[in-house]
Amino acid sequence: MLFGASTFIWVSPFSTENVDLLTKVKNMGYDIIEIAVEDTKLIDWTFIKEVARDLALKITISGAFGPERDISSTNPAYRKLGKEYIIDCIKIAEDVESPIFGGPLYSAVGKTRLVSNEQKMQERDWCVETLVEVGRIAADSGVVLGLEPLNRFETDMVNTVDQALSIVREVGSPSLKIVLDTFHANIEEKDIPASVRKIGKELLCHVQGNESDRGTPGTGHLEWEGIRDALVEIGYNGAVVIETFGQPSKELAKAACIWRPLANSADELASEGLAFYKQLFARN
C-alpha cells in the first residue's frame, strides 16, 4: 500500500512557491504528494515534476470544482469551462505521471438544492455526456478519472457509492472509476467495508482515508480495521491519501464547511496520520 498526503493539509491554493512541501512530505515518510489543482496557472509543472523525481516522490492529482467548473450546470458556459478544466488536468496528470485525476467531476462542490426530477435528469445527462467525451481523452492519455461521491452537505448529485456506480456504468469508459473518501462515506454509507467490496478491485482507483471529523486518522470513530480488511480482501493495491484542510481559502472553507482547526497543526496531523496508516496496514 502507498500512502500520500494532500497539499490541502497545508495550503490552498497550491502554487510553485509551495514546492518545499514536497520535501516535507517525503521527509515525513510518505510515498505520494497529492496536488490539489485549484489554479493550473499557479504551478510550474516541469519544475514540480523535476523536484518530485529527485526526491523519488510520486504525484497524484486531484481537482477543485467551483461553480464555474460544473459540467452539470444549467449554464452552458460553465459546462464548457468544467470540461476544459478536466481536460487540462488529464494532461497535467499524464505529464507528471499521476495514474489518476480524481474528485467530484460531476458537479460544483457546495451545490445543494431541491430541484425537480426533470431537472435532475437533465443535469445528469449533461454530466454523462461530458464524462463520455473526457473519458476518451483520459484513455488516450493513460489516466484514470476518479469519480468521488461527496456527502449531502456538499452536493446533491452523487452522495453514495450506488449513485457513483450508476454513472460509471452508464458512461461505460474503462478510464472512469471511483474514488472513495471515507469521510464522506461515513455520512452516506451504512457500511463502509461493504461499500468497498461493492466497488471492487476493478473500479476502486483511489482511497482518501479521512477520519470521521476530517481530523487525524485514527482519532475518530471510523471502523478502520474493517475498511482495511475490505481493501485487502478485494486486492486493492493503490494509494491511501489523507485529504483534509489546514488553511482553506474562503471559497474552499464555505464549500467544504470547514470552520475550525482540525488538529493542533497541519504537520502534526500529517505525521500522526501516517504513523496510524503504517500501524494499521502493518497488522495484516
Instruction: List the catalytic residues.
Output: 148, 243
From the number of C-beta atoms within 10 Å of its C-beta (0-12, 13-18, 19+), residue 129 rates as: middle
- The Cβ of residue 275 has, within 10 Å, a number of other Cβ atoms equal to 15
Best CA proximity match to 37, nearest among 10, 64, 60: 64
Best CA proximity match to 21, nearest among 51, 46, 64, 61: 51
Kindly write down the DSSP assignment for every residue of the chain, as one continuous string.
-EEEEEGGGT-SS--GGGTHHHHHHHHHT-SEEEEEES-GGG--HHHHHHHHHHHT-EEEEEE---GGG-TT-SSHHHHHHHHHHHHHHHHHHHHHT-SEEEE-TTS-TTB-----HHHHHHHHHHHHHHHHHHHHHHHHHT-EEEE----TTTBSS--SHHHHHHHHHHH--TTEEEEEEHHHHHHH-S-HHHHHHHHHHHHEEEEE---TTSSSTTSSS--HHHHHHHHHHHT--SEEEE---SS--HHHHHHHT--S-SSS-HHHHHHHHHHHHHHHHHT-
